[in-house]
Amino acid sequence: MSSPFLYTAGEMRPSHQLRLLGLLLFSLIPSQLCQICEVSRENCSYLNPLVNTMVNANYTKGIQSANILLTFRLVQIQNQRLEQQLTQQIQEDIKKRETHSDNPLTNYYQLSLALLALCLSNGNHSITNVIPYFTPENKNYYFGGQFSVDTGAMAVLALTCVKRRIEKEEIEADIKDLNKTNIYITSLVNKILSAKNDGLFGNIFSTGESMQALFVSSNYYKNKRNCQETLHTVLHNIFQGAFRLPIAAAQILPALMGKTYLDVNKNCSCACSPDKFNISTDKPVPVTPTISPSNISVKYSVQINKIFNSTKVTVRKGSVFLDVMMAAQKQNKAAFCFEMEDSPWGPYITSVQNISANNNDRTYWQLLSNGQPLSQGAGSYVVKNGEYLEVRWSTY
């Protein structure tokens, strides 16, 4: 959801890029009305868990709050107290990052977001100079050998915004820039469509922004069957509690209401208008388990190149991957010690056995279950009895 930010692309400094992210939150541009693929009026109540997850969350990180604030603006949910809190945190975080310039935007998802912010704010600063870096063959679209669907989707949104401004002659560009932009969009859309599986694109968490990308650049959702397949799968995952994290709720909600990031502050008569939501400001009450707690056993392994350290771990039923890692660390700190940091998606594993992930070397710690990469983080994935869990030193 990384490579060094390309400062040569228009020579944008990190502080300038961060200001652009702020501009994205407050841009006012004309755009299309709601799309045909949206949750129907009678099913709006299914979106209540997403809205309440965002409204009742405890926000402590500024940049982590930016996506939530953007979604509030898009779906026109009015919560002045929360918006002021989020805005203040974002501004404070930007100021800190400007002071400590060693923490710039670092990956192509963020590069796409910065280009989108620049485009939406009607800026002309080197936009066409950045376009060549979005060639679909660029290795930065790939993570762990697989196409990063959410990165590609954000790139499609950014390039579509640029394309529209070129066509309106709001950006100085020649026909070569426009043709190149069209080719990139088409190629990326095809890659997104090729990642389709049971109505999802990539996984459940990359589907929201993929829907947005397809709204603005493809006829895919003009086919009602395609729309219903995606909506059915996503609504089922909402019911299953897949979007418990505010950032996950924020990324899926706009698409379910037929909106995209190109519609910032655009009024439209969507089926699920804000008055259709049942918003509660009460903190969720923990649900009492219907069965008595019990223990489960899993096998846990750390792999570095061809060297394995494995152990059997017993944890409480309902535990997450992170609980297993902590239990293994208590058994053998030398073999299973790890470090983590907070991210919008929960705890992110940065180091295992004192070996740290490194953007410059394109290395990271991959989480797997029974040999398959996980789409959820260490703090979200609920483990099962008899499962084989692995943390693997990997490159992308």
Would you list which residues are annotated within the binding site for cyanocob(III)alamin? 106-110, 150, 203, 251, 348-349, 365-367, 374, 396
Residues 6+ apart with CB under 8 A from 202: 147, 148, 149, 150, 192, 195, 210, 375
Residues 238-243: contacts with CB within 8 Å, 24+ apart? Answer: 238/46, 238/47, 238/49, 238/50, 239/46, 241/49, 242/204, 242/205, 243/49, 243/50, 243/53
Q: How many CA atoms lie within 13 A of 314 on its CB side?
A: 2
Distances in Å between the Cα of 4 and the Cα atoms of 19, 231, 304 are 19, 36, 24
Beta strands in 272-316 (DSSP E): 295-304, 307-316
Residue type at position 29: I
Q: Residue 32, SS3? A: coil
Q: Which two tokens stand for residue 233?
A: 């799968």
The CA-to-CA distance between both ends of the chain, in Å, stands at 12
**In angstroms, rounded to a whole number, what is the distance separating the alpha carbons of residues 232 and 227?**
9
Looking at residue 287, what DSSP letter applies? P
Q: Give the relative orientation of helices 80-99 and 62-75 as an angle to the nearest 10 degrees.
A: 140
Annotated binding site: 106-110, 150, 203, 251, 348-349, 365-367, 374, 396
Q: Residue 47, SS3? A: helix
For the chain, the farthest-separated pair of C-alpha atoms sits apart, in whole angstroms, at 68
Q: What is the CA radius of gyration of the chain?
A: 21
- The structure tokens 């705890």 sit at 347
Looking at residue 179, what DSSP letter applies? H
